[in-house]
Structure 1
Amino acid sequence: MDMSRRTVIAGAAAAGITAATIGSAHATRGRTPVKSLFGKLADGTKVYSWSLANGGTRMKVLSYGGVVQSLEIPDRRGHYANVSLGFDNIEDYVASSPYFGALIGRYGNRIGKGQFTLDGKAYQVNVNDGANSLHGGAKGFDKRVWDVEPFTKGSDVGLHLYYTSVDGEMGYPGTLKVKVTYTLTKYGDWRIDYAATTDKATVVNLTSHVYWNLAGEGSGTIENHELKIDASRYTPVDSGLIPTGELAPVAGTPFDFRRSKRIGEDLREAHQQLLYGKGIDHNWVLDKGISPRPEWIATLKDPSSGRTLRMASTEPGLQFYSGNFLDGTLVGTGGKVYRQGDALCLETQHFPDSPNKPSFPSTVLRPGQTYRSTTVHSFSR
């Protein structure tokens, strides 16, 4: 059965995304998530792995960082491969993970100099990326142990993940209560629903940091993957990868993915933005903007295997990172070394450094409000 015949059904319950045109062969009931011990932290805290399977997709999730440790999907011949980079032990996640598969917060992406002003008060958050703060600081949500609650609901299976970030953690104001739900649908789609509340005004930007290689982790470069992003503009950066504030057109630049093209097609051009990022590490301004329900935003395909990832989101931005800082020092789950360009990230988000850019969509969350965001990953072959 060709799983590419997916449709978006407007207003379909809370999900917003369905796959009504897929045959029943791929609409299988998932198994109850299975819990097992993955390892222990230095202080003795146990880290658990949860195995889920539904609709032809199989994944393992860790209580440490909400990490997607593996995600397996079939190719056009029905052969499975793990398409997400990761490690086979907790020690490597703690010591050297570049956010493999992790939940990111409080603030996904960068904040210039780790500084911002909110309601007239200046804040200094943890700096861990040169002069800037990246992905919530040196001990962001990716390095916290989450409470995990498995569930089955109708034909769906999944996990609720909970974490409370106390007032002042990594310098951020307010006690932030976070709930993230991972759902595997009967069609094999992976849906992420984020929610958070606070008791003080704060800034929030949550995302997922899966490193994708649709040919299989450890299989080599992703330069032959084909990518399409529904965005006519992007946010150029300075030498520290902080947005300048400009919303620049992608037309005539290596950042034009409005038509599907090979990732490697323009990757080695002598463009100043590519030099700053040692490749692509930029935010795309999605044409749809913020949406109440997930809308299609990007399609990634590996022609060799036929595996295709289609993404939908409520978010206004998408960070495309081409794996520029993988340096051959990390050994992944399959025993292969990860080198530059061996994977890519597609992080749905509000824009980097938004707390310092009033013209960007706001990331401020106040008491009485609930932060909500949804991203759907739809797999086909």
Structure 2
Amino acid sequence: MKLGKLTKLTAAATLTAMASMPAAGVEVARSVFGTLPDGRAVPSVTLTNRHGVAVTVIGWGAAIQSLVMPDRNGHRADVALGYAALKDYLGHPQYFGATVGRFANRIAGARFTLDGNAYQVPVNDGPNSLHGGTAGFDKQLWTVVDTAGGASGHVTLRHVSVDGEQGYPGTLTVDATYTLGEDDRLTIEYRATTDRPTIVNVTNHSYWNLGGEGSTPGAMGHLVTIAADSYLPTNATAIPTGEVRPVAGTAFDFRTPHAVGERVRDATDQQLVFGRGYDHNWIVGRTVTADEHLMARAVDPASGRGFELWSNQPGLQFYSGNFLDGTSAGKAKRIYRGGDAIVFEPQIFPDTPNQPAFGLARLAPGEVYRNVMTYRLSWGAAR
């Protein structure tokens, strides 16, 4: 970065920001984000690298509360939607940055059968169950079990979901590990084990506005690429119909970059009418893989901020923030409205427990569930 190409104000701001960054390695800072009504403290852990990237993870919902990164001119901004205070996470839950499960996305009719036994889970999205129910993983206090700094820094949080929690069988122990490297990669890894057969689909639900979470243009100008030739159309309640539909010739074709807002309001596409925009699962693969593969890219042309998203999952839920309804004010004190952010959720396919053609959601004792996703952050400047 050549300071001579910046204004004096920008240069001063950049130098101030750089002064607060670690000289080398990723630093870890722990604090308390707030206190729950029952007196339990909610931990907060911030990982910061020397390029000015800083991610803060809180124990409530094992959520990303903020992600600060520079733009092409060195201006740092928080690009993750969220709240400044715990009371807002409790009073106006929106899945901001949260870990969602035990089964992310939707289960049709809020019921499923496993090993011949029928299970009922909470109805919280029309006739269906969404993101684990009314008190899913996003509404649980996770425990910080490990932190470390160095060439990369990480924090691991744990939640033990007891047998019968939200109607799901088996006691499930889930670890969420957030790792930030000096290579500007932010990795989220979920691992889970169970003491009896159950279903599992855990993912992260961060809302991204790469211009800054309080910036007025929102995210509809973001250029998005999705590495998928097909997607899963849904019925009017957002449950996949079972059809696998090619993206070619449709508003769902992101194989080359498109601005999100370019086609999101196409009223001639019934799928966009059903979802009030994009809220669908793209088929990147057919099975969970050992290694990560490219899922998507997103770039904000104005700031240069962007990322590639890699994961080992077969499906990618892409959501264009359609249901942000002006009832929540974020960290910049700006009301969040539809289109102010986009969400990418690597996962197995929605309603898999009820649709055998989609594969398996079953986890048995002795097995390890694993969902890993990596954001390769960039900001259009040589470093």
TM-score (norm 2): 0.91
State how far apart, in whole Å, the 1-side matches of 2:250 and 2:257 are: 14
Who is 1:322 aligned against? 320
Change (3 A) 1:55 1:348: farther
Q: CA deviation at 1:162?
A: 0.7
Identity of aligned residues (%): 48
Match of 1:35 among 5, 12, 30: 30
**Superposed, which structure 2 residues align to 1:254-273 within 5 Å?**
254-270=251-267, 271-273=269-271
Paired position in structure 1 for 2:284: 286
Equivalent residue number for residue 234 of structure 2: 237
Give the structure 2 partner of residue 247 of structure 1.
244
- 1:154-233 correspondence runs (5 A): 154-220=150-216, 221-233=218-230
Q: Which residue is 1:335 aligned to?
A: 333
**Using the alignment, how far apart are the partners of 2:367 and 2:299 within structure 1?**
38
Q: Which runs of 5+ in 1 are unaligned?
A: 2-24
Report the count of equivalent residues.
358
Which residue identity is paired with 1:326? L
Alpha carbons 1:55, 1:188 under 8 Å: kept: no
Which whole-Å deviations, capped at 9, do the CAs of 1:49-98 have from their partners, x for residues lacking one?
11110252101111111111110010000110000000011111011121
Instruction: Please tell me whether the aligned partners of residues 109 and 129 of structure 2 are also in contact (alpha carbons under 8 angstroms).
Output: yes
- Conserved? CA contact 1:286–1:297, under 8 Å: yes
Q: What CA distance in whole angstroms lies between the structure 1 residues aligned with 2:251 and 2:195?
A: 43
Task: Give me the whole-angstrom Cα distance separating, in 2, the residues matched to 1:298 and 1:288.
Answer: 16
Question: d(CA) in 1 for partners of 2:360 and 2:273?
Answer: 29
CA–CA distance in structure 2, aligned partners of residues 257 and 99 of structure 1: 25
Change (3 A) 1:166 1:288: closer
**1:1-30 CA distance string (max 9 Å, x none):** 7xxxxxxxxxxxxxxxxxxxxxxx999411
Q: Does 1:68 align with 2:73?
A: no
CA contact (8 A) 1:51 1:58 kept: yes
Q: Which residue in 2 is equivalent to 1:311?
A: 309
Look up the equivalent residue of 2:328 and give its one-letter code: L
1:49 maps to 44
How far the C-alpha of 1:289 sits from its partner, in A, is: 4.7
User: What is the CA distance between 1:336 and its match in structure 2?
Assistant: 0.8
SS in structure 1 opposite 2:154? Answer: strand
Supply the AA of the counterpart residue of 1:137: G
Question: Match of 1:122, SS?
Answer: strand
RMSD: 1.7
Q: TM-score w.r.t. structure 1 length?
A: 0.91
Distance across 1 between alignment mates of 2:227 and 2:245:
15
Structure 1 residues 122 and 362, CA, compared in 2 at 3 Å: closer, same or farther? same
Secondary structure at 2:356 match in 1: coil
Aligned partners of 1:30 and 1:186 also within 8 Å: yes
Distance 2:50 2:284 in 1: 29
CA distance in 2, matches of 1:279, 1:66: 27
Tell whether the 8 Å contact from 2:162 to 2:172 is kept in structure 1 after alignment: yes
